[in-house]
Structure 1
Amino acid sequence: MASEETATQILLRGLVDDAGLFPPASLSILQAVERHRSDRIVAHPMLTHRLLCPERRWPELLARVNGGGPIDAAVVLDAERGFAADPPESGPGIRITHYEARALPEDLRMAADLFRSGDLDVGGRTVFFEFDALPEPSDLAGAPAFGRTSGWPAAVAMLGGARPLGVKIRCGGPRASMFPGVSDLADALLACAEHDVPFTAAGLQHAVRHTDPRTGFTHHGYLNVLLATAAALSADRGAVAAALACTDGARLAAGAAAVSSGDARRARDLFTRFGARSTGDPVRDAEGLGLLGSWEI
C-alpha cells in the first residue's frame, strides 16, 4: 500500500509547468518537445508535464507534434490581443489545459461578468489573467506597472466567484521592474486568498529567495510563495510577509513540514502552478532541501 503523502509533498505535487519556450531559455520547438517527452518518461511528481507555448509559436508546435503526442500545453496569448474571442484550440496530439492572457482592469471586470452570466465559454479550462493593477485614487492619471501598486485587492476582487478564471502573478523577469516587492506580492496573495481566486506565477525558478550576483536582482523563491500562500489562508499579513522575505532554506523547509495537510491542499487550490524555464532546477532545489521524501530517485 502506498504511503500517504506528506504535507510538503502535497505542496510540491504538480507545481512546475515547462516554460522553456520563453526567455531566457528560449528553446526551439524541437528541443522543447523532446524535453517534454523525456520529462513525461521520468514522470517526476513535481512536474505538471504541461508545456507553456506562446500563441505566435502555436502553429509551429502543432506542425512539430503532428498527431504524435500526447502533449498537454497551455497557450500564452499575445499581449496585443488579450483573451480574444477565438483563442487557439487543441490539435491532433495536443490538449490545451489552460490559457494565460493580458488584461486591463476593465477587461477583467467584463470577462468575469460574462463568465458569471454564461456568455463566456472557456470550455472548462482555467484562464489566468495578468494585468496592470488598479492605481490609487490619488494617482488615476498614472499607468502603474504590474504588481507595483496597492490596487491589487480591488483588481483580484473582480474575479471573486468566477472560477475557473484566475490571475497570473509575475514574480520576476529580465527587468528590475518585473520583480514585485514583498509588500506588493503579499497584497496579491492575501487578495487571492480572501476572494478564493486561483493563481499561477511567472518568474520563479529556485526554491529560496536569493539575490543574483550577476544582476543584483532579488528573486522570489517558490517555497517562499507556497508558505506565504498557506499563511494567507488565515489573513496573517505579518506571516505572509515573513515567509516571502525569508532567505533561510532550512527554516523554509521546516515551515513546509509544519503545514497541516488540509492547509497544504487549500494553499495549492490557490497557488496552482508556476512556469519555470528549467524543469530540473526546481526539483534539484527541493531535493537539496530534503523536501522530496519518498519521491527521491
Structure 2
Amino acid sequence: MKVSEDVFKSSIQAYLSNLIDYAGLFPPAQLPLEPAIQNYAAYKSYKDSWMLGRFIIPATRLGELDPYVPLFSEEKRLDISAIGGRSKGVEDCLNVLGADLKKQANFCMRHEGIVAINMFEMPLPPIVPNQRLLERIATETAEYNMQTFCEVTMSLDEEWEMNMLKTLDEIAQYNLKSGHSLGVKLRTGGVTANAFPTPEQVATVLVGCSERNIPQKFTAGLHHPIRMYREEVNTSMHGFLNVFTAGMLARTHKLDRATIAKILADQESSNFTFTNRGITWKDLEVEASDIEQLRQNALCSYGSCSFCEPREDLRTLQLI
C-alpha cells in the first residue's frame, strides 16, 4: 500500500487531516489529566500533528485544565471537544446542558485566544428525542459557535435499530427546518466485546446518516486502520479506514446497507488503496475533492485514547 509523494498530498492528507481527536482520559488508556494534556501538547509539535484533532474532555472537568493552559499559545492552541453529561430524561438533559455550557463559557473567558471549544458531544437521554429537546440543544450550543454531535445512548438490543432510525428521522427533521445542523456521534466499540456494534449495525447508521444528510463523528474502538480480531476485547475491532471509507462511499455512491457492511467487515488491507485520484475500495472510488468535502462537512473525526497506535499501524501499511 506504499504511495508516492503526490498521492500523499492529494489524497492521504485530505483523508487523514485532523482525523484523530485525542481521548487519552478515556478507556482503555484512561490516563490521569496531567499526562494526557502533556501528551496532547507534545503531539501538537510532532511532524504528524496535521493528523491531530481536538483534545476530548468532559465539560465538568474543564476547570482542571487551568494549570496546564500555559503549555499552549495562540500559535499552538488548545482545541477542545467537550463532552456533555449523561441524563435520564428531557428535563434532566436540559439542566445538564445548561450547566455544562456555563462551565465552557467561563473556561474560555479565562483563556481567551489560547483555548477554543468548537465541538460539543452531547449524550442524548436513552429515549428517542423530541423536537423541543433537539432545538434547545442546537440553539444553546450554537450561541457558542460549536459543532454539536448527539450520541444515541440506547442499548445495542433488538430494538436498537428501530430506535436509532427514529432518532435519525427526528434529527433530520430538525435540521431540515432550522438553520442549524446537528450531527450524530456513533460509539463503535469499548473495552468489552458486547460494546462493539456489528458491521450491519454500523452500516445502518452510515447509510441512515447519508440518506438524511446528517454529519457524523465516531468514538471508541477505532485504534487500527483495518478491521481485525483483537484478543484484548475478544472480538473484531472496527478499522477507521473501513468506517470512513464506507461512510464516504455511502454518500458518494448511494450504496445499500449490505454493501456498506461488507466494506466495514473487510480485513484485507490491500482492498483499500490510495491513488493519485483518491481512495478506492476494490473497484469503487472516492475522488480527492470529495474526500476533502466529506471530511469537512459529513465525516468529521473520531476519538481515540491513543494518537500513537493509529499512526504506527499506518506506517506498517506504508501510508505515512
Q: Same fold (TM over 0.5)?
A: yes
8 Å CA contact retained: 2:23, 2:56: yes
CA contact (8 A) 1:16 1:275 kept: yes
Q: What are the within-5 Å matches in structure 2 for residues 177-192 of structure 1?
A: 177-192=194-209
Aligned equivalents of 2:311, 2:70: Cα separation in 1: 30
After superposition, what is the alpha-carbon deviation per residue over 1:166-188, rounded to whole angstroms, capped at 9, x for unaligned?
11100000133321111110010
Select 2:168's aligned residue among 151, 156, 163.
156
Contact 2:86/2:123 (<8 A) preserved: yes
Alignment of 1:65-80 (within 5 A): 65=69, 69=73, 70-80=77-87
Aligned mate of 2:48, from 37, 41, 44: 44
Q: 1:29·1:64 contact (CA, 8 Å) conserved in 2?
A: no
Q: Is 143-152 or 27-36 further displaced after alignment?
A: 143-152
Instruction: After superposition, give the CA deviation of every residue in 1:165-212 in whole Å (9 maximum; x if it has no partner).
Output: 211100000133321111110010011111111111111111010111
Q: Which amino acid aligns with 1:192?
A: C
What is the distance in 1 between the residues matched to 2:159 and 2:313? 26
Amino acid paired to 2:206? L
Tell me the SS of whatever aligns to 2:37.
helix
Aligned to 1:110: 132
Q: Which region of structure 1 is more displaced relative to structure 2, 8-17 or 80-89?
A: 80-89
Give the partner amino acid of 2:201: D
Give the distance between the partners of 1:159 and 1:208, measured in 2 at CA.
Answer: 30
SS state at 1:99 partner: strand
Mark the CA change 1:210 to 1:259 in structure 2 (over 3 Å): closer, same or farther.
same
Runs of 5+ unmatched residues, structure 1: 134-142, 293-297
Q: What is the match of residue 96 of structure 1? A: 117
Q: 1:106 to 1:226 in 2, by over 3 A?
A: closer
Q: Distance in 1 between matches of 2:130 and 2:289?
A: 31
Structure 2 residue aligned with 1:246: 266
Provide the alpha-carbon RMSD of the alignment. Answer: 2.8
**Relative to structure 1, is the Cα distance of residues 287 and 155 closer, same or farther in structure 2, using a 3 angstrom cutoff?**
same
Q: How does 1:202-241 map to 2 (within 5 A)?
A: 202-203=219-220, 204-233=222-251, 234-237=253-256, 238-241=258-261
Of residues 65, 70, 84, the one that matches 2:97 is 84
Cα distance between partner residues in 2 of 1:147 and 1:263: 34
Of 162, 173, 181, the residue aligned with 2:190 is: 173
1:60 maps to what in 2? 64
Structure 2, unpaired ranges of 5+:
none
Point out the more displaced range, 197-206 or 232-241.
232-241
How much has 1:145 moved relative to structure 2? 5.1
State the 1:72 CA deviation: 1.1
Give the number of aligned pairs. 281
Tell me the CA shift for residue 282 of structure 1: 1.4
Residue 275 of structure 1: how far off its partner (Å): 0.7
Q: Deviations over 1:114-154 (max 9, x none)?
A: 477x5764422111111135xxxxxxxxx655994243232
SS in structure 2 of the partner of residue 32 of structure 1:
helix
TM-score if structure 1 supplies the norm length? 0.83
8 Å CA contact 1:20–1:32 kept in 2: the answer is: yes
Letter in 2 for 1:250: S
Q: Which residue of 2 aligns with 1:260?
A: 287
Deviations along 1:80-126, one digit per CA (max 9) or x if unpaired, are 3646123232241422121112113444632433477x576442211
Name the structure with the higher helix share: 2
Q: Is the 8 A contact 2:43 2:52 kept in 1?
A: no
Residue aligning to 1:136? none
Relative distance call for 1:68 and 1:38 in structure 2 (3 A) is: closer
